[in-house]
Amino acid sequence: MADIADLTWTDVRDGPGRTLVVPVGSVEQHGPHLPLFTDVAIAEAVARRVVGVDPTLVLAPAVPYGAAGEHEGFPGTVSIGHEALRLLLVELGRSACRWASRLVFVNGHGGNVGSLVEAVTLLRYEGRDAAWVPCMAPGVSGDAHAGRTETSLMLALSPGTVREDAAAPGATEPLRELLPRMRAGGVAAVSPNGILGDPTGAGADEGHALLTAITTAVAAAIHTWAPDEKTARLPF
């Protein structure tokens, strides 16, 4: 696997045409049972597995901070906001594309989407071959936040960081019903424990299956490379 942390500049110069894969996450609350680094861990794990099966890909260090203002009602959340994230991604892309033939952001936090769309759309307008892709699997619908889906993934990736005895249901209504109150008061306004969904019943086996499905979908999207003209997203 080509990890930029292990390469020299001559390795990059002498290698094949490179696509730089950049995980993007968020440091934010994930209920009382999951670590603040959950989104980063998932995005990095997916990106690492995708890079491992394609020698033309290079893994970059993750961008850990994202736009997570909706979670700031909970201690531990660190959000840099949309404008700062957008600028960071644009400048990262401008620099990386001086040597990388392509650039793809692998996103692990839904709150980053607006910034990703704007940043990657601008990079493409400037003539850089950039795109982004979510950590999702087609046809798999899961909890919105810190529920069964993310808990299962973390049980597969880092079981020692999951406090299963603290896992409890949060707000389980459909996200569309929660959004008006969330826009006004953040996640804390609809879920005192910070969970949108129900993590009970999560398991490592389910997490491994989800991770395989997500990795397969992301790898296929990067291989196909057909960014949507409006969103700059690689479609599944």
13 pLDDT band (50/70/90 cuts)? confident
What pLDDT score was predicted for residue 130? 98
Contact 144, 136 (CB under 8 A): no
The mean of the pLDDT values for the chain is 95
Helix, strand, or coil here: 35? coil
Q: Using one digit for the tens of pLDDT, what is the confidence trace for 106-119?
A: 999 999 999 999 99
What proportion of the chain, given as a percentage, has pLDDT over 70? 100
Contact 131, 120 (CB under 8 A): yes
Mean pLDDT calculated for residue range 167-183: 93
Question: Global pTM?
Answer: 0.96
* Residue 190 pLDDT exceeds 80: yes
What pLDDT score was predicted for residue 142? 73
* Residue 152 pLDDT exceeds 90: yes
Mean pLDDT calculated for residue range 29-55: 97
